[in-house]
Structure 1
Amino acid sequence: MADWEGVNEFVAVVESQSFTGAANRLNTSVANISRRVNALEQRLGVKLLVRTTRKVSVTEAGESYFRHCKPLLEGLMSAELAVTQLQVAPKGLIKVTAPVTFGEQALAPILHQFLKAHPQIELDVMLSNQKIDLVQEGFDLAIRLGQLDDSSMMARKLLDRQVFVCCSPEYLSTYGEPHTLSELKRHQCLRGSVRHWRFSDGGSERVININGRLQCNSGYALVDAALKGLGIVQLPDYYVQPYLESGELVELLSDYRGNREGIWALYPQNRMLTSKVRTLIDYLVEAFSQYGK
């Protein structure tokens, strides 16, 4: 009869590429992960992992064992979910990460309503503008903005955003208005975390390097600088829309306005989508379909 002890821990270490990541994912200690993997190796009589102070490598035997164990674990999880989801409401902890401003303004109120609707679910929410490794850090779900570049994740669109280039009337009266993308190099551009802006030029994307006296990773701070006439800013609608409507900011280069970008819910494609996470994603899709209406 097959012995499953240590198999789940071993698969988690391989997928996380670390014992710490596996411990976070399985909500246990690193010592417990190490103990179970050691016991598994002793039972099999073969070395599955090579551990150093910097990284964990998988041996040839470990690669073969992982390929056989992974679908078996997924099948077992699928069988358990098929049974439990028929009997109980979604429950348990969901770890979510999202960008700071979008998380504070748009996501948090929806998550709070979700908690009211599902009293057996707990949320651990980390707002960060850094792209966190979901598998290694044990997160179930990430909210990402704009273009996606991680093919190892499954994605479901929640809504779209529009990015605007704008400045204050005070800045326009002092420095004039740029009418072409090439003119931006002569202007004070308020930079975020990157040194380029994206535009649509005749249906094709153009990336323009920009310069300016101020760089800051806070959208709120950049909006304040633009309102004070310090330069031109490129930011999503949820930062600047109220000021565009009030006339405190003026849109520039509207002919080069880029296409609307997606806001996405991401989760690892090699992880079973549990009932609680699926319920949350469905709730977010429905809630954001009404967003701004």
Structure 2
Amino acid sequence: MYLWDGISEFVAVAEAENFTLAAQRLNVSTAHVSRQIGALENRLGTKLFYRTTRKVSLTEEGTIYYRHCRQLQTGLEEAERAITDLKDSPQGLVKLTAPVAYGEKFIMPLLNDFMVQYPSVECNVDLTNRTLDLIEGGYDLAIRLGKLADSSLMAKPLSSRTHYVAASPSYVEKYGEPHTLSELNQHNCLIGNHNYWRFIEHGRERNFKVRGKLICNSGYALRDAALKGIGIVQLPDYYIEEDIHAGRLISFLDTHREAKEGIWALYPQNRHLSAKVRVLVDYLAEKLTGG
């Protein structure tokens, strides 16, 4: 076990760049830290730190040694947490954010079921279509739709979605249906957050600019307008797929429909997920994929 002697002190000094701060972090004396580092350097036969009155910094050998020691220490911490979590039932506060419509229809019912199953869990939910900063806002979890921006967050797929272009039978009877993307210019398009719709054309993604007499940032409002024959809409499947199957809406331009895109659970890149978040993410993935 002597091989572990001084490792915690060495990692603490390397990260704090200060013997006193490292001692405070470990709740030991500065003299103890200094002795442990000295003994470690003697055992390894090399200098790990450059020491001046103002600064402590790693030598080249110290930098290499730190990378390995940090991994070892992280592995030990994760091993202990994993064993602890096996005994722990999910409990405590989970703070999460999700898009409004998807959150209302899918996430909240599942989250409520989860709270029934695990009564010790509390939830603070922010349904918003804004992309919130998880770290700054102290969120444990975010539900995101579609393509993900590059970030340091961890992502787990929960489900998928696709977009339909559709109109009511009454609209089609009166104005016909578009057979090509360019024919959309002859129709009243019901516009959401963007004035373009997304398609695949000749194997490539294309954003096609659309025009119309209604602009609204509510998918349900646009669905209602489409059902009442006001115009053509492009919406994710969870808004209008049931209407299409029931014949209340007619889908077209299906050959230009984009491939399915992901619905994700995002969480900060912690070394080890707490039981409450880990179990919740697995629960959502199972339920949303129909597992």
TM above 0.5: yes
Q: Percent identity over the alignment?
A: 51
Q: Which residue does 1:219 correspond to in 2?
A: 219
Write the distance in 1 (CA, Å) between the matches of 2:88 and 2:151.
33
- Confirm whether residue 252 of structure 1 aligns to residue 261 of structure 2: no
Q: Is the 8 A contact 2:88 2:275 kept in 1?
A: no
List alignment gaps of at least 5 residues for structure 2.
Answer: 1-8, 10-22, 27-53, 56-65
Secondary structure at the counterpart of residue 148 of structure 1? coil
Q: Is the 8 A contact 1:178 1:253 kept in 2?
A: yes
> In the superposition, relative to structure 1, how do residues 86 and 177 fare at CA in structure 2: closer, same or farther (>3 Å)?
closer
Q: Which residue does 2:288 correspond to in 1?
A: 288
> In the superposition, relative to structure 1, how do residues 134 and 181 fare at CA in structure 2: closer, same or farther (>3 Å)?
same
Q: After the TM superposition, which parts of structure 1 deviate over 3 Å for at least 4 consecutive aligned residues?
A: 70-80
Larger Rg: 2
Secondary structure at the counterpart of residue 215 of structure 2? coil
Q: Which residue does 1:3 correspond to in 2?
A: 24
- Confirm whether residue 109 of structure 1 aligns to residue 109 of structure 2: yes
Shift in Å at residue 152 of structure 1? 2.2
Superposition map of 1:56-67 within 5 A: none
Q: Is the 8 A contact 1:74 1:272 kept in 2?
A: no
Q: Which residue does 1:262 correspond to in 2?
A: 262
Q: Is the 8 A contact 1:160 1:261 kept in 2?
A: yes
Superposition map of 1:179-218 within 5 A: 179-218=179-218
Shift in Å at residue 150 of structure 1? 3.4
Superposition map of 1:37-186 within 5 A: 78=78, 81-82=81-82, 84-186=84-186
Shift in Å at residue 176 of structure 1? 2.0
| Letter matched to residue 170 of structure 1 | S
Shift in Å at residue 211 of structure 1? 1.4
Secondary structure at the counterpart of residue 119 of structure 1? coil
Query: TM-score scaled by structure 1?
Result: 0.72
Shift in Å at residue 132 of structure 1? 1.0
Shift in Å at residue 243 of structure 1? 1.3
Q: Which residue does 2:4 correspond to in 1?
A: none
Query: TM-score scaled by structure 2?
Result: 0.72
Write the distance in 1 (CA, Å) between the matches of 2:271 and 2:146.
23
Deviation per CA, 1:199-223: give whole Å up to 9, x if none.
1123221111111111111100000
Write the distance in 1 (CA, Å) between the matches of 2:261 and 2:106.
16
| Letter matched to residue 104 of structure 2 | E
| Letter matched to residue 249 of structure 1 | L
Secondary structure at the counterpart of residue 174 of structure 1? helix
Q: Which stretch shows the higher mean deviation, 195-204 or 263-272? A: 263-272
Write the distance in 2 (CA, Å) between the matches of 1:86 and 1:162.
37
Write the distance in 1 (CA, Å) between the matches of 2:255 and 2:83.
55
Q: Is the 8 A contact 2:81 2:272 kept in 1?
A: no
Shift in Å at residue 280 of structure 1? 0.6
Q: Is the 8 A contact 1:167 1:227 kept in 2?
A: yes
Shift in Å at residue 180 of structure 1? 0.7
